[in-house]
Chain A
Amino acid sequence: MQVTEYKPLIVAFCCNWCSYAGADLAGNNRLAYPADVKIIRVPCSCRVNPTFILRAFQRGADGVIICGCHPGDCHYTSGNYYTRRRMATLFSMLDFLGIERERTRVEWVSAAEGAKFAATMNEFAQKVAALGENKRLEDLRCKK
């Protein structure tokens, strides 16, 4: 049997104004992070509906991270505060369902923090990889 190296699948939701720009900056500065991280652009971190996260886990994502502007810096004044509260609730529920806390994360990355973006992704991918594959919420009906 051929043993392939385990690669986690990580979905990153990035707000358009801070974190997506921060991810671009990481690129501009050629700061490497694992290719396992796939970024989805949203206008604001508060656009991330919990159902998106549930869907990602159902379809076999191993980790989901949401990046937004720092508290107080939200382009839409208060969007990231909603994110913070919603995700705190969702993550504790996911924890209860067996999705470990390390698989979910909210991080504030500003447009100037390319280095922080890359470091966060490296660290997060490492933690998720250590946990192994997400089997708990995986729904075979979702996975064709």
Chain B
Amino acid sequence: MQRVGVFVCWCGSNIAGTVDVQAVSEALKNEPGVVFSANYQYMCSQAGQEMIKTAVKEHHLTGIVVCSCSPRMHEATFRKTAVAAGLNPYMVEIANIREQCSWVHKDVTAGTEKAIILGKAAIAKVNLNTPLTPGESPVTKRALVIGGGIAGIQTALDIADAGFPVDVVEKQPTIGGKMAQLDKTFPTLDCAACILTPKMVDVAQNDKIRIFSYSEVTDVRGFVGNFDVTIKKKARFVKEDVCTGCGACVEKCPMKKIPNEFNLGMDNRHAIYIPFAQAVPKVATIDPDACNMLKNGKCGICSKVCAAGAIDYKQKDEIIEETYGAIVVATGFNPISMEKFDEYAYSQSKDVITSLEFERLTNAAGPTAGMLVRPSDGKHPHTLVFVQCVGSRCESCAEKGKEYCSKICCMYTAKHAMLTRDKYPDTEVYVFYVDVRTPGKNFDEFYRRAVEEYGVKYVKGMVGKIVPEGDKLKVQASDLIANKQLHLDADLVVLAAAIEPDHSARPLATMLTASMDTNDFFTEAHPKLRPVESPTAGVFLSGTCQGPKDIPETVSQAGAAASKVIGLLVKDKLTGNPCVAIANELTCNGCSSCERVCPYGAISYLDKEFRMPDRTTKIRRVASVNPAVCQGCGACTVACPSGAMDLNGFMNNQIMAEVDAICK
């Protein structure tokens, strides 16, 4: 039997107002195990805590019940008090008589009665408490960053800066992500490549960072501090360490009509290719779907022209297994498909393009070397129409687009419009918008410059229909301010397509047991206070995988994620939660029911030798819980048909005792 001390808190008048605290502490005095009962104005104050410590010493208490506010509020406080008094922190139970009693009941008699019952339940539970010690698990001092865009690059550089090894997994043949495709960046108009490519080189040259390009994460097991990750390095049919990136193979490759993904299909590449000049790693990759040698065994030119002898047609996918202490998700975004928005004639005319295609079209390294021309006939466009919110903020058209605001479109459209007017003053530029949203440093000034200095015509209203007619695009739109219909003959239409998380995100979330919202954005552990952590311990979020954001925001979030990772990796050991499942080997019959319901794979089976009463030994299969993996949900305790599974801190007999105390 425990020696229990009961401490009833007044919480000023918060509890004492509706609960007769004196009566509660008197009534609880006679409960089994209780040797001391008192009440005080503020139990959580220094004086209140001192009172608990003194009582523990004077009355040799082994268990503490505090009747106070919610355990979510002060359980940690009173556990610390218990430790200071020389008790195990898990010998404390809280009876929630504020949030769940005094604050919701007006009647003093009913409130006091309920507070007594809640106190009795807590006493019944603490009588069955046992001291618990959290387990420790080592931390592998290595981080994995999934995604090699600006978010992943920045996170990797910051972690490596602190001296920890980092691996970056990128599914494309090069790192760089979406930012590598951009022309200029708002609101300063510095060129994306000029600020990104030095960072890409930094990543490549950093001896703490390994890049697994053209690779995918295929399996994640384990837990915070010790994730066992399987990475599939796809065969690129070129030896990465031998290839010099000279490009001789690319020049000679006869298969040259393959749509170039990097330029969004606006020009062609060869079957062997380097995505762009500053690619990191700068090595060639053979597209197995396009290469004649790989498909039919005929050709082999690249192998002949490669002076370094880097071509290897027999290369196989490589499986890499590595252990990491922390994982950062930086899987980024994609513009949504324009298939469902056929009113804008995207599929009917080459001159209706998305904003990302426009970026490539105006990029000096793009398919037209930066000349703004119509993709259909190569002519210079005179009238340009930008359509905002294509698929964004689609409340009524959720099946087509997205309900959220994509956040970056207002600013990049202002940038596109401004740059067009700057370079080609003969053009007329219209922007159709629902709202212009420019919260950000120097953002609104930037937008106003586009309107006031560059004469971009902003029209509030939506474009209803675009019809290609001859070499013109007939744009029908409404001007909501002038309250009239507009008919424009445009030469080029640019659609600000909504952005969505990359499609690789959902299967990855399943592997990581990280949660996602309905839009497939990763959910943060707390929207305000833990914005870069996933609810799954050891998994962190960086960049647009968590929600739409621009480059400055992405970079700051990447740095924040890195600092959280560093904070984890500097620890030598992690203390776990001791409230984990335990198996009673004597009653377990090895049926596997618990293993099937465990969401974390924390239960495995051991063949154990047991001494039988007749002095023989018998080997039986029994469940064994890995305390570092178990999160303590208790699903197994209910699934177990023999009642062998129990949960520390919430034992079967403890909850039963609470039920008994309440139903008396």
| Chain A residues close to B by CB (< 8 Å) | 9, 11, 20-21, 23-24, 26-28, 30-33, 35, 38-44, 46-52, 55-56, 59-61, 73, 75-79, 82, 86, 118, 144
Q: How far is the CB of A114 from chain B (nearest CB, A)?
A: 10
Q: Which residue of B lies closest to A54 (CB)?
A: B659
CA distance A144 to B660 in the complex (A): 11
Q: How far is the CB of A62 from chain B (nearest CB, A)?
A: 10
B579 sits at the interface (CB 8 A): yes
B634 near A42 with CB under 8 A, answer yes
Q: How far is the CB of B625 from chain A (nearest CB, A)?
A: 14
CB-defined contacts of B121 to chain A, threshold 8 Å: 38, 40
Known A35-B114, A86-B638: A56·B104 in contact at CB below 8 Å: no
Q: Return 19 A-B CB contacts under 8 Å, by A number.
A: A24-B72, A24-B99, A28-B99, A30-B103, A35-B105, A35-B107, A39-B100, A43-B649, A46-B638, A49-B652, A55-B663, A56-B659, A56-B663, A60-B663, A61-B659, A76-B633, A79-B635, A82-B597, A82-B635
Pick the contact of B633: A11, A26, A38, A47 (CB < 8 A).
A47
CB-defined contacts of A33 to chain B, threshold 8 Å: 104
CA distance A118 to B267 in the complex (A): 62
CB-defined contacts of B99 to chain A, threshold 8 Å: 23-24, 26-28
Q: Which residue of A lies closest to B106 (CB)?
A: A32
B650 sits at the interface (CB 8 A): yes
A55 near B98 with CB under 8 A, answer no
Q: Which residue of A lies closest to B523 (CB)?
A: A73
Known A-B contacts: A24-B99, A38-B121, A77-B515. Give 10 more (CB < 8 A). A27-B99, A28-B103, A38-B114, A42-B634, A48-B638, A52-B655, A59-B664, A61-B662, A75-B633, A79-B634
**Mask: chain B, 621-637; 1 = CB below 8 Å from A; 0 = not:** 00000000001111101
Known A35-B110, A38-B662: A26·B632 in contact at CB below 8 Å: no
CA distance A86 to B639 in the complex (A): 9
Pick the contact of A9: B103, B513, B599, B663 (CB < 8 A).
B663
A27 near B98 with CB under 8 A, answer yes
B663 near A49 with CB under 8 A, answer no
CA distance A144 to B96 in the complex (A): 26
Q: How far is the CB of B30 from chain A (nearest CB, A)?
A: 15
CB-defined contacts of B664 to chain A, threshold 8 Å: 59, 144
Known A21-B72, A24-B72: A32·B105 in contact at CB below 8 Å: yes
A11 near B104 with CB under 8 A, answer no
CB-defined contacts of A73 to chain B, threshold 8 Å: 515
A49 near B110 with CB under 8 A, answer no
CB-defined contacts of B659 to chain A, threshold 8 Å: 11, 40, 52, 55-56, 59, 61
Q: How far is the CB of B535 from chain A (nearest CB, A)?
A: 7
Chain B 311-333 interface residues, beta-carbon cutoff 8 Å to A:
none
Q: How far is the CB of B400 from chain A (nearest CB, A)?
A: 23
Known A24-B100, A27-B103, A30-B104: A77·B660 in contact at CB below 8 Å: no
Chain B 233-258 interface residues, beta-carbon cutoff 8 Å to A:
none
Chain A interface SS verdict (over half): mixed
A49 near B103 with CB under 8 A, answer no
B634 near A43 with CB under 8 A, answer yes
Q: Which residue of B lies closest to A13 (CB)?
A: B655
B117 sits at the interface (CB 8 A): yes
A50 near B107 with CB under 8 A, answer no
B463 sits at the interface (CB 8 A): no
Chain B 599-650 interface residues, beta-carbon cutoff 8 Å to A:
599, 631-635, 637-639, 647, 649-650
Chain B 71-126 interface residues, beta-carbon cutoff 8 Å to A:
71-73, 96, 98-101, 103-107, 110-111, 113-114, 117-118, 121
CB-defined contacts of B515 to chain A, threshold 8 Å: 73, 77
CB-defined contacts of A86 to chain B, threshold 8 Å: 638
Pick from A49, A73, A86 the residue with the most CB of B within 10 Å: A49
CB-defined contacts of A51 to chain B, threshold 8 Å: 652, 656
CA distance A11 to B513 in the complex (A): 32
A24 near B633 with CB under 8 A, answer no
CA distance A28 to B98 in the complex (A): 9
Pick from B72, B103, B659, B664 the residue with the most CB of A within 10 Å: B659
B130 sits at the interface (CB 8 A): no
Q: Which residue of A lies closest to B14 (CB)?
A: A27
CB-defined contacts of B638 to chain A, threshold 8 Å: 46-50, 82, 86
CA distance A144 to B631 in the complex (A): 37
Known A27-B99, A59-B663: A79·B70 in contact at CB below 8 Å: no
B658 sits at the interface (CB 8 A): yes
Q: How far is the CB of B475 from chain A (nearest CB, A)?
A: 42
B632 near A43 with CB under 8 A, answer yes
A47 near B599 with CB under 8 A, answer no
CA distance A28 to B100 in the complex (A): 9
Chain B 518-550 interface residues, beta-carbon cutoff 8 Å to A:
535
CA distance A137 to B103 in the complex (A): 33
Q: How far is the CB of A49 from chain B (nearest CB, A)?
A: 5
A55 near B660 with CB under 8 A, answer yes
B662 near A47 with CB under 8 A, answer no
CB-defined contacts of B634 to chain A, threshold 8 Å: 42-44, 46-47, 79
Q: How far is the CB of A28 from chain B (nearest CB, A)?
A: 6
Known A46-B635, A47-B638: A40·B104 in contact at CB below 8 Å: no
CB-defined contacts of B633 to chain A, threshold 8 Å: 43-44, 46-47, 75-76, 79
Known A38-B662, A52-B656, A76-B631: A47·B647 in contact at CB below 8 Å: yes
B103 near A11 with CB under 8 A, answer no
CB-defined contacts of A47 to chain B, threshold 8 Å: 633-635, 637-638, 647, 650, 655
CB-defined contacts of B106 to chain A, threshold 8 Å: 32
CB-defined contacts of B597 to chain A, threshold 8 Å: 46, 82
CB-defined contacts of B639 to chain A, threshold 8 Å: 82
Pick from A21, A33, A77 the residue with the most CB of B within 10 Å: A77
B663 near A77 with CB under 8 A, answer no
A76 near B104 with CB under 8 A, answer no
By Cβ-Cβ distance, the 10 closest A-B pairs, closest first, are A27-B99, A47-B634, A59-B663, A76-B633, A35-B110, A27-B103, A44-B633, A24-B99, A46-B635, A35-B114
CA distance A130 to B175 in the complex (A): 66
CB-defined contacts of A38 to chain B, threshold 8 Å: 114, 117-118, 121, 662
